[in-house]
Amino acid sequence: MRRLGNKERMIEVKREGANEYLLIRIDPDDIGELESKGIGERRDGRFILRAVELVYLAMIGYSVYIDGYEIGIDELIKHVDNPYALSVYLDMRKRGYFIKPTPNGPVDFLVWDKGKDPLKSSPSYMIKIVTEGLGIQVMNLLNVLKYSEGMGAQLVLALVSSEGVITYYKAFTFKPVKGG
């Protein structure tokens, strides 16, 4: 197991369903840190994490246990449904943003500006992943754009190339100013 300083960091989860993991055990001090960084979510008195979050935690030094077994980063990556989502998640974390996966919505991630508390503020951005070669249908794009603007967030398209290079594009509706 890895050690950070004098403190061993460990997280134990139980597989809850498709890409969801129920927190079983963690240092009580660490749970507040996770929440303040936008990692995991409280739901019905339980704390739920996603596979991309577990990969990130393993990368920053946590020993991750799933259903009682220690799982390494390589094996954790196999639990991630969308490798493009993992790339975007890790890239945004590396850039210092707080990012949360949104598994059942029209966007892939919610993102907070640097320095914003995800517990006390709304997300500034919503990310939709677009993969090279697959693209996105215009009506789908317009619906996602309408959704994000309705929620008060800027839509960002994360274009992931076949080589794994990520380029971010802000999307918005153009509202002409009426002349007088």
**pLDDT category, 176, cuts 50, 70, 90?**
low
Q: What is the rounded distance in angstroms from the CA atom of residue 160 to the CA atom of residue 131? A: 5
Residues 73 and 95 in one domain: no
Pairing status of strand 109-112 against strand 98-101:
antiparallel
Assess whether pLDDT exceeds 90 at residue 55.
yes
Q: What is the rounded distance in angstroms from the CA atom of residue 37 to the CA atom of residue 99? A: 8
- Note down the domain range covering 40: 3-78
Closest CA relative to residue 125, chosen from 103, 94, 92: 92
Residues 48 and 89 in one domain: no
Of the chain, the end-to-end C-alpha distance in Å amounts to: 69
What domain count does the chain have? 2
pLDDT in tens, 61-118: 999 999 989 999 999 999 888 888 999 999 999 998 899 898 778 999 999 887 777 7
3-state secondary structure of 176: coil
**pLDDT category, 137, cuts 50, 70, 90?**
confident
